[in-house]
Structure 1
Amino acid sequence: MTKMMFFLNWLKNPIKTGTFREIPKKAGKHILHFSQNLSQNDIILEIGGGSGSLTKYINNKAYSSAQSICIEINDSFCKVLRKKFENVKIIQGNAADLSEIISPEEMSRVRLIISSIPFLLINKAERNKILNQCSDIMESNLCPMLHFSYTSFYSNVFKNRGVVDFLSKKIKSFPTVHVNHYSYKNCSEAFSSIVKGMDFSEENSQKKEIKEGKTK
Structure 2
Amino acid sequence: MDNATDEPARASYRRSAGSPRGEARRRELLAKITDDVAENGLVDFSLRRAARAAGTTHKVLLYHFEGAEDLLRQVVVTLRERRIGNALAAVAGSPSTLAGRVRAAWESLRDEETQLRRVLDQAMGLAMYDPGRYAALGRHASQQYLPTLMAFCPQLWPEQRKLEVASMILATLRGFLVDLLTSDDGAGAAAGFDALLRAVEREEAAP
* Same fold, TM-score > 0.5, yes or no: no
Larger RCO of the pair (alpha carbons < 8 Å, separation 6+): 2
Q: Name the structure where helix makes up a greater proportion of residues.
A: 2
Which has a greater percent of strand? 1
Larger radius of gyration: 2
